[in-house]
């Protein structure tokens, strides 16, 4: 649906379509030239550029042949004029989604506006975000010779001179976190030694930094891309380090008081996280906890060897430091009474405190107790005396494992664990089962419970063979072989077969709000049934977000909460990270002993150097780590990580395709070693080494930073070469190499430059004279193809080549640095520009010009023109003339349309 | 000396990414000038021309209420307009801006003397500040522009340009010196790379051009004079009238020169030229186009052909340039020969093979179809003789280890290049700039590739340098685009930095009239009461008139005597 406004005025708000006379795709030199000339004639032009700056490839060059003008000096005025011209509208970071033809012969263009994650009008280009950014990635605007930040301004002359944040998506670790903790973010900050900032980043989500750093099952680590290589990063232990290192209170102030009061029932991970988030938002929160200590399962059931009570207490102290009041030993049965007491809202977060019973004979015997009660008594310092006793734990989950290992520590002579599942199917994590067995727990898998033996006190657990746990439909439906039985003698039996909630409260899955009582919310296990701590943290955070909106009188329907960009695929990361080096993971640190006798914490913390080494292994999958440093330093408040792609539609009378070219990927000639030999670089990289904004301020070779004395050029890399499918000459490589040759002789007066060429092609105004000049300056030119390049010790390179002019023999020469004069490949973006019609390409995939002889720039589609190297290799002057030709015809087309309209 | 006007000037000194700051201590320059009277802002910038710094300048002008701007960077040729526009955006009159050149005229010329370069830069910047202090706002002269253009030359570039102008809605006069339109391409048969017929291409274009009511075609006509100024030129054209030659005048806003090239004509004996069976490339192409079927020369079947490349091009003494079109043209000619039946041996004796871009495909094709290529050294050209048993060319072939081979051929083609056309009268009439190679010169190959230093006089096609047919057409259309960009809106702004006469002081001596190279000054009024009058649209602001006035009655806006004196003061004062 589109409405076109004939006067071309832009319509306010979404939905409307803006009309232009012409649209130029691509803002390289050809595109800028086209747009500026059309603008000067009075046409209104929309320029769509997919990169974050206008200027194309030319602005990244050093000087340009044959005049040796500085490329910046020629490009920047055009870039500025393009963006400032009153008839031109420029969209950077924008891609054409499709061009269709309207009934009236005009074109309708769908443009995808990619997010910059920076509010561009607010950004002043001060670069503070760049300096603060914790992620470095190869700088594509510097030939990947150096690194840039994820938050960056593309290059010094970029237009607009505004920052952007590169986000490839959400990093897999962060994406995997049910709580929405920015795992990549704190890893990235830890890598920079910014431990306190990393700690604060976790606090943005939850106060339970230390507890999660120990007891989280770390779904982040399962998704870590390094896991596909040498092993995942120890993300959880990095978090633990942050918590252990942090001293004092949270260092966070509560929000501006809202005057609202919230009661939270239950102080487990959901309740504590919700209280924290609500406190940050300025609400007064009081938690009612039935147990004598706050912390829920973290405090009451997870054994101290995994999660010491002091750690939980410190996390709880974060919450109380924010002004949250916690009333322990305070059971709440009447939620309505809380409301009557003046609480504006109530959050139920009571978890699943009720143990599930077996329902087998003699379960009521003495010394048969639920695991939750047992673990709680241990953690609260009043453990049963198990010294020398035989203990049977029933259940195959994590709680059962916890109970079994705790029993061992209390001096039990034997600890048996019985579970329905075969070992491979046990719900407990395999590593926990392994640890339990290593400590001396005897596992009896695939057994069900017939009943208990004994009179008053239990003396035995009676078993029957379990043949299947789940039915065909995947539901819990255990099958037994009643004929196969056994019996385990025991003094104490601990049942750990599940937990359930005490109260059944129906809430909306998204808003967590009760349908009946809008002031009542519920979160965590009380809603979902037993889940991981980190799931409850996520639920608590969601509940607080919704509660806050409710308390502020805002709508809860269709509110985006924690909307993440799609997770990044591992393959994409590994493709991008071709050059990553092998970095081995840390060795496991837990030392297990048989029949441990105390509850000392098993896993040691990591030392700082281990943390740095571990965090340095991060592959920065999502590029931006969401460490939020840019947000905290930006003086203009311009960073907006919530920006998302938008699509807009424009109407145009004519289209000029000036999408330019791609460069030949030098690693497609493996015999030249690009990508393997550090001192084999491309002509584009040499451009950067010579440019005014050069990364090293001189010409250095990459492997060791040495100034090269002997430099070789390998011409026709990827051009005139059937073996890579490109029989065409790329036209400008001879000239740019000769230019670089002269610039190198200026930059490194002692260096020898040798050009290995097939034919020197300098057929342009002043070009051959330029070639003669290079020869006169001392440039060496050797005719003959280079067969292969080998690397010598120390990084030098041995070229094997044909010396045609001296008898045609095969020779070898050693160089410090080799430059591959890569040529041109078509930019295949042209294939998908048009949705209704086919833009004809020639046999080499350049835009076809069916009447090049007389109508250069005209394409197979009437009204669509091509400017510059999108139609085939062209140097800058030729691209500019070609753009002029395209514009003349586009203007003629628009005039014709005006007449016929 | 009168009290200095109270000014608020911003001074920006550019690093130019090291182009300047590698040799000039830009921080010292700033430190030395920031105390100059009137300077309110003084800063350095990595790239002053970058959008970021321009934005900063705009902000400074607005926030500090600046009334003068100085940027010390590169040549005014590059960025005067850039910063005038920045001033304009900020609300400052663009003529209160001064560009100081501390790159081409300072850092680049004194790379061996950092101290000296820095001192010089200080002096230059000070002079610029002094000039700026005496600036006053100037408003551009607005002229209505004619909606017609003149195209000189009826070859393929001129024809296409004429059609292109008309298609955009501009009226055209197309002037051709010869009796026929079509130029070189109109005489050709099949042309590369698309195998179209040159004659037919041109005929089709001519038909379209002649069908347009807004194009006036004048053949047997020559441009002999030009008066007026950009936007409103009056071109004098000599045409063949019924009573012999007569001159007509046409009003045009711009002039596109597309006068093409001449073929290089070898001297007698040059590579055997003059010997029977030795032809130039155009002669050979004519032979090819003259008949179908197996190739014959003077009735004898041609079984072998030699081609010697770079005749008249890339010569150490003579034309140094590469003629660009000849390698592809000769390859293409050899393919046409091959098309006419097998059995003709073809030998190409070349120096460097400029089969650039897609012409590489034809080069490969010709080798597949039997053409042999032999490469000779620049200083070891082949020799051509005719003996009793026929024509022979001898060459030392670098591709076969320098072996000397003598090849008997039935026909030898001298692959001749392009040379500039002799056009002295036109060059005089239009004041066309001619380059070292004899072709017309553009202002800048990238920034203004079809414009000349004469406003509104453009160049297209091979008169600017060797080009193929389609390249000439592209440049012709680029000239159309530039012309339309200048004329289409119907009005143009001209630089107001022109000479003005102080009527009270002028004595009417007329010395300035004689000094003006642009005929911009005329005497008005009666004898005894005559005064000089400057036509601002014609005046180029060259300043030639100001020193000759005995009464100092004529001044150049933007470079008044007072300003120039103040600049000298700034240059000579101690650093």
Most A CBs within 10 Å, among B484, B486, B488, B493, to test the A interface: B484
Residue B352 has pLDDT above 50, yes or no: yes
Residue of B nearest to A823 (CA): B357
Q: Report how far apart, in Å, the C-alpha atoms of A601 and of each of A214, A310, A460 are.
A: 10, 11, 32
More confident residue, B438 or A160: B438
Residues of chain B with CATH 3.40.50: 9-138
Residues of chain A neighbouring B469 (CB-CB closer than 8 A): 853
Residues of chain A neighbouring B352 (CB-CB closer than 8 A): 759-762
Confidence of residue B538 (pLDDT cuts 50, 70, 90): confident
What's the whole-number mean pLDDT along residues B321-334? 96
Nearest residue, CB atoms, B474 vs list A70, A693, A856: A856
Q: Say whether A76 and B168 touch across the interface (CB within 8 A).
A: no
Q: Which two tokens stand for residue B490?
A: 């119907």
The span from the CA of A808 to the CA of A802, in Å, is 6
Quote the pLDDT of residue B108.
87
Q: What is the dihedral of CA B54, B60, B65, B68, to 10 degrees?
A: -50
Residues of chain B neighbouring A157 (CB-CB closer than 8 A): 47, 49-51
Residues of chain A neighbouring B49 (CB-CB closer than 8 A): 72-73, 76-77, 80, 157
C-alpha triplet A7, A13, A18: angle, nearest 5°: 30
Residues of chain B with CATH 3.50.50.60: 148-260+421-492, 264-417
Q: Say whether B355 and A853 touch across the interface (CB within 8 A).
A: no
Radius of gyration of chain A (CA): 35
3 state DSSP class of B416:
strand
Confidence of residue B4 (pLDDT cuts 50, 70, 90): low
More confident residue, B191 or A544: A544
pLDDT tens for each residue of B290-327: 888 889 998 899 999 999 999 999 998 889 999 999 99
Domain B148-260+421-492: homologous superfamily in CATH: FAD/NAD(P)-binding domain (3.50.50.60)
Q: Say whether A762 and B354 touch across the interface (CB within 8 A).
A: yes
Quote the pLDDT of residue A16.
64
Residues of chain A neighbouring B355 (CB-CB closer than 8 A): 729, 759, 761
What's the whole-number mean pLDDT along residues A660-668? 95
Confidence of residue B558 (pLDDT cuts 50, 70, 90): very high
Answer whether CATH 3.50.50.60 is correct for domain B264-417: yes
Residues of chain B with CATH 3.30.70.20: 495-557
Residues of chain B neighbouring A887 (CB-CB closer than 8 A): 481
Q: Say whether B50 and A856 touch across the interface (CB within 8 A).
A: no
Quote the pLDDT of residue A74.
86
Q: Which two tokens stand for residue A641?
A: 């990580």
Let me know: does B157 contact B473? Beta carbons within 8 Å. Answer: yes
What's the whole-number mean pLDDT along residues A751-763? 96
C-alpha triplet B473, B479, B484: angle, nearest 5°: 130
Quote the pLDDT of residue A1.
33
Nearest residue, CB atoms, B473 vs list A760, A856, A873: A856
Quote the pLDDT of residue B283.
95
Quote the pLDDT of residue B527.
63
Confidence of residue A697 (pLDDT cuts 50, 70, 90): confident
Confidence of residue A264 (pLDDT cuts 50, 70, 90): very high
The per-residue pLDDT of chain B, averaged, comes to 93
Confidence of residue B393 (pLDDT cuts 50, 70, 90): very high
Peptide bond into A66 cis (omega under 30): yes
The per-residue pLDDT of chain A, averaged, comes to 94
Quote the pLDDT of residue A580.
65
Q: Say whether A884 and B482 touch across the interface (CB within 8 A).
A: yes
Answer whether CATH 3.30.1330 is correct for domain B9-138: no
Confidence of residue A863 (pLDDT cuts 50, 70, 90): very high
What's the whole-number mean pLDDT along residues A283-295? 97
pLDDT tens for each residue of A587-616: 777 888 999 999 999 999 999 999 999 999
Most A CBs within 10 Å, among B446, B461, B472, B485, to test the A interface: B446
d(CA A617, nearest CA chain B) in Å: 35
Question: Cα B14 to the chain's mean position, in Å?
Answer: 29
What's the whole-number mean pLDDT along residues A224-229? 95
Architecture of domain B495-557: 2-Layer Sandwich (3.30)
Confidence of residue A530 (pLDDT cuts 50, 70, 90): very high
Nearest residue, CB atoms, A73 vs list B49, B314, B356: B49
Percent of chain A with pLDDT over 70: 98
Catalogue the long-range contacts made by B386-391 (C-beta closer than 8 Å, 24 or more residues apart): B386/B272, B386/B275, B386/B276, B386/B277, B390/B277, B391/B272, B391/B275, B391/B276, B391/B277, B391/B278, B391/B306
Percent of chain A with pLDDT over 90: 88
Confidence of residue B19 (pLDDT cuts 50, 70, 90): confident
ipTM of model: 0.86
Cα–Cα nearest to A742, from A716, A769, A719, A721 = A769
Q: Which two tokens stand for residue B326?
A: 């000849």
Residue of A nearest to B444 (CA): A67
pLDDT tens for each residue of A54-87: 999 999 999 999 999 889 888 988 998 898 899 9
Quote the pLDDT of residue A18.
85
More confident residue, A590 or B333: B333
Confidence of residue A901 (pLDDT cuts 50, 70, 90): low
d(CA A115, nearest CA chain B) in Å: 21
Q: Say whether B478 and A157 touch across the interface (CB within 8 A).
A: no
Quote the pLDDT of residue A579.
65
pTM, 2 dp: 0.87
Q: Report how far apart, in Å, the C-alpha atoms of A278 and of each of A289, A515, A555 are.
A: 17, 21, 17
Confidence of residue A113 (pLDDT cuts 50, 70, 90): very high
Q: Say whether A729 and B355 touch across the interface (CB within 8 A).
A: yes
Residue A9 has pLDDT above 50, yes or no: no
Please report where in the chains the tokens 């003579």 appear, as a residue: B318
Confidence of residue A12 (pLDDT cuts 50, 70, 90): very low
The span from the CA of A441 to the CA of A393, in Å, is 10
């Amino acid at each position: 649906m589109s409405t076109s406004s004939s006067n071309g005025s832009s319509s306010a708000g979404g939905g409307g379509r803006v009309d232009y006379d012409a649209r130029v795709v691509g803002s390289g030199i050809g595109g800028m030239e086209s747009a500026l000339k059309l603008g000067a004639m009075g046409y209104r032009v929309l320029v769509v550029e997919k990169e974050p700056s206008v200027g194309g490839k030319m602005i990244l060059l050093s000087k340009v042949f044959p005049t040796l003008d500085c490329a910046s000096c020629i490009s920047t005025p055009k870039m500025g004029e393009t963006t400032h011209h009153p008839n031109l509208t420029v969209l950077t970071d924008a891609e054409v989604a499709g061009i269709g033809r309207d009934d009236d012969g005009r074109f309708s263009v769908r443009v995808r506006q990619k997010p910059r994650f920076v509010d561009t009008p607010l950004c002043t280009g001060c670069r503070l975000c760049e300096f603060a950014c914790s992620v470095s990635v190869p700088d594509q605007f510097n030939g990947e010779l150096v690194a840039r930040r994820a938050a960056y301004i593309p290059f010094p002359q970029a237009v607009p001179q505004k920052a952007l944040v590169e986000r490839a998506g959400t990093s897999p670790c962060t994406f995997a976190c049910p709580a929405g903790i920015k795992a990549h973010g704190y890893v990235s900050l830890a890598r920079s030694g910014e431990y306190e900032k990393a700690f604060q980043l976790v606090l943005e989500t939850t106060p339970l930094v230390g507890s999660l750093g120990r007891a989280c099952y770390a779904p982040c680590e399962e998704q870590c891309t390094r896991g596909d290589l040498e092993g995942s990063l120890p993300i959880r232990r990095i978090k633990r380090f942050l918590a252990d290192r942090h001293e004092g209170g949270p260092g966070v102030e509560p929000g501006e008081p809202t005057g609202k009061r919230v009661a939270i029932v239950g102080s487990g991970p959901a309740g504590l996280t919700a209280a924290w988030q609500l406190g940050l938002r300025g609400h007064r929160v009081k938690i009612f906890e039935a147990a004598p200590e706050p912390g829920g399962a973290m405090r009451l059931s997870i054994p101290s060897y995994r999660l010491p009570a002091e750690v939980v207490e410190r996390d709880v102290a974060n919450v109380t430091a924010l002004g949250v009041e916690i009333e322990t030993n305070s059971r709440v049965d009447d939620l309505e009474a809380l409301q009557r007491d003046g609480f504006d809202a109530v959050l139920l977060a009571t978890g699943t405190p009720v143990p599930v019973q077996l329902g087998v004979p003699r379960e009521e015997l003495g010394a048969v107790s639920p695991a939750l009660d047992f673990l709680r008594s241990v953690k609260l310092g009043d453990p049963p005396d198990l010294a020398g006793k035989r203990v049977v734990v029933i259940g195959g989950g994590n709680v059962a494992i916890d109970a079994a290992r705790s029993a061992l520590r209390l001096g039990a002579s034997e600890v048996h664990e019985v579970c329905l599942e075969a070992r491979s199917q046990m719900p407990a994590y395999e590593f926990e089962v392994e640890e339990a067995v290593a400590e001396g727990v005897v596992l009896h898998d695939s057994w069900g419970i017939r009943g208990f033996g004994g009179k008053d006190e239990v003396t035995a657990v009676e078993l029957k063979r379990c043949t299947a746990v789940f039915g065909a439909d995947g539901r819990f439906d255990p099958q037994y072989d009643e004929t196969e039985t056994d019996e385990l003698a025991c003094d104490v039996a601990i049942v750990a077969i599940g937990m359930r909630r005490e109260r059944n409260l129906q809430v909306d899955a998204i808003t967590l709000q009760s349908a009946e009582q809008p002031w009542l919310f519920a979160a965590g296990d009380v809603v979902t049934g037993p889940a991981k701590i980190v799931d409850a943290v996520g639920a608590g955070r969601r509940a607080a977000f919704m509660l806050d909106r409710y308390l502020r009188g805002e709508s809860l329907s269709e509110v985006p909460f924690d909307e993440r960009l799609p997770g990044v695929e591992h393959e994409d990361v590994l493709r991008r990270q071709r050059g990553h080096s092998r970095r081995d993971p840390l060795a496991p640190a837990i030392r297990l002993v048989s029949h441990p006798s105390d509850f000392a914490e098993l896993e040691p913390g990591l030392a700082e150097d281990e943390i740095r080494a571990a965090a340095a292994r991060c592959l920065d999958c999502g590029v931006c780590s969401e460490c939020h440093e840019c947000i905290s330093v930006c003086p203009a408040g311009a960073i907006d990580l919530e920006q998302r792609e938008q699509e807009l539609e424009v109407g145009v009378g004519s289209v000029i395709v000036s999408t330019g070219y791609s460069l030949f990927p030098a690693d497609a000639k493996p015999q030249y070693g690009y990508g393997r030999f550090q001192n084999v670089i491309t002509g584009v990289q040499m451009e950067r080494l010579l440019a005014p904004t050069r990364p090293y301020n001189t010409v250095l070779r990459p492997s060791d930073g040495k100034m090269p004395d002997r430099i070789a050029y390998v011409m026709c890399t990827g051009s005139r070469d059937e073996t890579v499918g490109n029989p065409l000459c790329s036209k400008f490589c001879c000239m740019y190499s000769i230019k670089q040759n002269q610039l190198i002789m200026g930059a490194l007066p002692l260096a020898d430059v040798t050009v290995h060429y097939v034919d020197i092609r300098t057929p342009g105004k002043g070009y051959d004279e330029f070639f003669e000049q290079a020869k006169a300056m001392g440039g060496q030119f050797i005719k003959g193809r280079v067969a292969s390049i080998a690397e010598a010790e120390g990084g030098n390179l041995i070229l094997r080549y044909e010396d045609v002019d001296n008898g045609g023999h095969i020779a070898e020469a050693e160089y410090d640095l080799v430059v591959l004069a890569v040529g041109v490949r078509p930019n295949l973006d042209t294939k998908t520009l048009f949705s209704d019609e086919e833009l004809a390409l020639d046999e080499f995939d350049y835009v076809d010009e069916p009447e090049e002889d007389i109508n250069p720039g005209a394409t197979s589609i009437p009204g669509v023109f091509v400017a510059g190297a999108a139609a085939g290799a062209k140097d800058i002057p030729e691209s500019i003339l070609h753009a002029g030709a395209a514009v003349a015809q586009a203007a003629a087309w628009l005039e014709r349309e005006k007449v016929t309209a | 000396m009168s009290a200095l006007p109270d000014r608020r000037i911003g001074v920006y000194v550019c690093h130019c990414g090291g182009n300047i700051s590698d040799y000039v201590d830009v921080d010292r320059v700033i430190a030395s000038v920031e105390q100059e009277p009137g300077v309110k802002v003084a800063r350095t910038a990595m790239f002053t021309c970058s959008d970021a710094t321009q934005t900063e300048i705009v902000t400074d002008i607005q926030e500090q209420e600046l009334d003068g701007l100085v940027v010390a960077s590169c040549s005014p040729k590059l960025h005067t307009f850039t910063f005038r526009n920045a001033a304009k955006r900020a609300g400052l009159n663009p003529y209160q801006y001064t560009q100081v050149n501390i790159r081409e005229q300072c850092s680049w010329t004194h790379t061996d003397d950092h101290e000296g370069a820095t001192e010089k830069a200080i002096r230059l910047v000070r002079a610029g500040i002094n000039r700026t202090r005496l600036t006053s706002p100037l408003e551009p002269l607005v002229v209505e522009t004619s909606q017609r253009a003149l195209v000189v030359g009826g070859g393929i570039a001129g024809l296409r340009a004429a059609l292109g102008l008309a298609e955009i809605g501009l009226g055209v006069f197309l002037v051709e010196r010869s009796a026929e339109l079509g130029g070189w391409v109109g005489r050709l048969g099949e042309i590369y790379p698309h195998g179209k017929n040159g004659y037919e291409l041109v005929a089709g274009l001519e038909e379209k051009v002649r069908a347009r009511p807004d194009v006036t075609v004048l053949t047997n006509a020559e441009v002999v004079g030009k008066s007026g100024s950009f936007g409103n030129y009056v071109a004098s054209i000599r045409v063949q009238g019924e009573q012999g030659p007569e001159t007509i005048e046409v009003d045009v806003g711009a002039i596109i020169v597309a006068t093409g090239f001449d073929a290089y004509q070898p001297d007698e004996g040059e590579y055997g030229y003059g010997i029977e069976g030795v032809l130039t490339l155009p002669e050979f192409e004519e032979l090819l186009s003259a008949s179908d079927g197996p190739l014959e020369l003077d009735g004898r079947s041609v079984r072998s052909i030699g081609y010697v490349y770079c005749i008249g091009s890339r010569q150490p003494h003579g034309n140094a340039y590469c003629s660009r079109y000849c390698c592809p043209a000769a390859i293409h000619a050899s393919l046409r020969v091959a098309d006419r039946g097998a059995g003709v041996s073809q030998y190409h004796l070349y120096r460097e093979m400029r089969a650039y871009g897609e012409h590489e495909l034809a080069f490969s094709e010709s080798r597949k179809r039997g053409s042999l290529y032999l490469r000779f050294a620049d200083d070891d050209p082949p020799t051509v003789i005719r003996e009793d048993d026929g024509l022979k060319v001898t060459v030392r072939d670098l591709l076969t280890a320098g072996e000397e081979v003598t090849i008997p051929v039935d026909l030898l083609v001298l692959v001749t290049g392009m040379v500039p056309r002799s056009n002295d009268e036109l060059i005089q009439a239009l004041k066309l700039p001619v380059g070292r190679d004899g072709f017309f010169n553009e202002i800048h190959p990238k920034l203004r590739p079809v414009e000349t230093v004469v406003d509104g006089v453009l160049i297209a096609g091979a008169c600017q340098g060797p080009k193929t047919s389609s390249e000439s057409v592209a440049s012709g259309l680029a000239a159309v685009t530039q012309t339309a960009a200048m004329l289409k809106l119907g009005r143009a702004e001209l630089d107001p930095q022109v000479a003005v006469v102080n009527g009270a002081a002028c004595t009417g001596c007329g010395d300035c009239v004689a000094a003006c190279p642009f005929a911009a000054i005329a005497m008005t009024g009666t004898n005894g009461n005559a005064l000089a009058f400057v036509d601002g649209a014609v005046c180029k602001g060259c300043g030639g008139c100001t020193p000759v006035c005995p009464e100092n009655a004529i001044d150049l806006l933007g470079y008044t005597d007072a300003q120039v004196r103040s600049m000298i003061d700034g240059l000579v004062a101690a650093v």
